[in-house]
Amino acid sequence: MALYAGIDCGTQGSKVVIVDGDKGTLLGEGSAPHRLISDSSGRREQLAGWWIDALELAFKQAVAQAAIDAGQIAALSVSGQQHGFVALDQQGDVLHAVKLWCDTETAEENAQLLQKLGGIEGSLARLGLMVATGYTASKILWFKNHYPQRWQRLHTVLLPHDYLNFWLTGERVAEYGDASGTGLFNIRTRQWDRHTADLIDDSGRLWKALPPLQRAEQCVGRLRPEAARRLGLNPAARVASGGGDNMMAAIGTGNIQPGTITLSLGTSGTLFTYADAPVVASSEMIAGFCSSNNGWLPLICTMNVTSATTTVRQLLQEDIAAFNQLLEQTRPGAGGIVMLPFFNGERVPQLPHARASLHNLDSDNFTRANLCLAVVESATYGLRYGIDLFRAQGLEAGEIRLTGGGARSPRWRQIVADVMDCPVVCLAEKESAALGAAIQAMWCDQLADDPALAPAPLLDALCRRFVRLDESTRTRPDPQRRQQYAGLYADYLRQLQQSWPEVRL
């Protein structure tokens, strides 16, 4: 029996799944939470050691649930939250708490770097995407400015998943997909960009600290004895290249060929699709990342999805079941209410200082049910705005694969199908990033055993075997509501531009 493990190190916690590579079944899973260091400055950090502790606990839970001998696991792979910054010295010690993707304390440094790159157009021309505050590059500049003595000890720059690979194997490497979200990487050539690194540090220290890059189908190495002991694994087990959480979720949702969009109705909203050529978009709001299967993964992220619906639900003091019942009590358009749901500012469109607002209220339409529907519809319109940016680049989809907590609501699934004018379906396995990592572990392990295998067809076969759609959730656009929502979305865009004239439609 060939067993494989997928690890997902996210912001809120670590998850582990164990799959049977022969039978194509998921045997067990485990999870453990992470703490978060935060304050009003925008600081969002974690200690790298917390990830190791959570990984050990989640691994033991998954092994216990699977009722297997962990020594039978042939290979494992790591999915990690993107854009973090792990600074290592020569001995492999972490020099500072890890700044996360959601850290905004480095906004000033990002603005400086973007200006040096020649603004948005210069960044797109140089790297293929616009460097953003959440990316790794500005975190490095912040670290250099605030901790000059520690900076002198910097030996290696790693991303969160790279660091877990380092802990597992002792190897300091990176792969194209996750590296493309650093702001130091040219997505066209799949190489670190020396010019951008020198804008941050012209001494050469940063350039030397960037780890070697490897292809997605390659293994990093085998387990260190200490890592094997703590996880109960065979030291001969291989560690695959791994990747960023979005890249692994693409594999875990079978989004490895053009024609499918993965859309997450989570705290924020993420949508991405596969491309077999670099996507240097006309809009800086599309991040033209590389994928973790040697292609590209153009991605858009909106800031207000279930974070917005949770705000309204808590205001009304309703649980999720009651909130969904209220959704069923009203019709498309929420009685004429239009919401701009920017409780956390917004990234797409770029309105970082925006605030939420309600429009067209009167004594008849201002009801609990309409308020619930208005926030769901507006969050969906924000994602439709992103879909339209994709379509403008020629990135069409025949199907949307939904993930995230909001996807559990049948009414919300129907709204997505009607607003996007596209069929939607959920996945049978909810932990798509961890599953994607397990599939990638199988992929890399089998290629290591038989280098004559063709990488792309093998990964396609593995995804067809392990990625299962939940057909009970399949939802198609309703012709009447689709037409109705086309008009309602136009109303939303008019209100958006009236409130924020700088938005380009």
Could you tell me if 438 and 249 are in contact, meaning their C-beta atoms sit under 8 angstroms apart? no
b/e burial code for range 69-99 (CB count within 10 A of at least 16 → b): ebebbbbbbbbbbbbbbbbbeeeeeebbbbb
Could you tell me if 306 and 406 are in contact, meaning their C-beta atoms sit under 8 angstroms apart? yes
Q: Which residues contact 414 (CB under 8 A, 6 or more apart)?
A: 475, 478, 481
Could you tell me if 180 and 187 are in contact, meaning their C-beta atoms sit under 8 angstroms apart? yes
- What 3-state DSSP class applies to 292? coil
Angle at 14 between CA 406 and CA 132, to 5 degrees: 70
DSSP 345: B
User: Measured between alpha carbons, how far is 268 from 10 in angstroms, rounded to an integer?
Assistant: 14
The DSSP element (H or E) to which 319 belongs, if any, is: none
Could you tell me if 2 and 74 are in contact, meaning their C-beta atoms sit under 8 angstroms apart? yes
Report the amino acid identity of residue 361. Answer: L
112 marked as part of a ligand binding site: no
146 marked as part of a ligand binding site: no
Tell me which residues are annotated as active site.
245
Could you tell me if 6 and 434 are in contact, meaning their C-beta atoms sit under 8 angstroms apart? yes
DSSP 104-157: -TTHHHHHHHHHHTTHHHHHHHHHSS---TTSHHHHHHHHHHH-HHHHTT--EE
340 by Cβ neighbours in 10 Å (0-12 / 13-18 / 19+) ranks as: buried
Our measurement of the distance from residue 70's CA atom to the centroid of its chain's CA atoms, rounded to an integer in Å, reads: 28
Our measurement of the distance from residue 385's CA atom to the centroid of its chain's CA atoms, rounded to an integer in Å, reads: 18
User: Measured between alpha carbons, how far is 161 from 79 in angstroms, rounded to an integer?
Assistant: 6
- What 3-state DSSP class applies to 459? helix
User: Measured between alpha carbons, how far is 113 from 199 in angstroms, rounded to an integer?
Assistant: 7
DSSP β-bridge partners for residue 260: 399
Our measurement of the distance from residue 349's CA atom to the centroid of its chain's CA atoms, rounded to an integer in Å, reads: 18
Q: Which residues contact 254 (CB under 8 A, 6 or more apart)?
A: 260, 401, 463, 464, 467
Cis peptide before 225 (omega within 30 of 0): no
* Long-range Cβ pairs for the range 147-153 (8 Å, 24+): 147/95, 147/96, 150/87, 150/95, 150/96, 151/205, 153/89, 153/90, 153/95
Question: Residues comprising the binding site for substrate?
Answer: 82-83
Question: Residues comprising the binding site?
Answer: 82-83
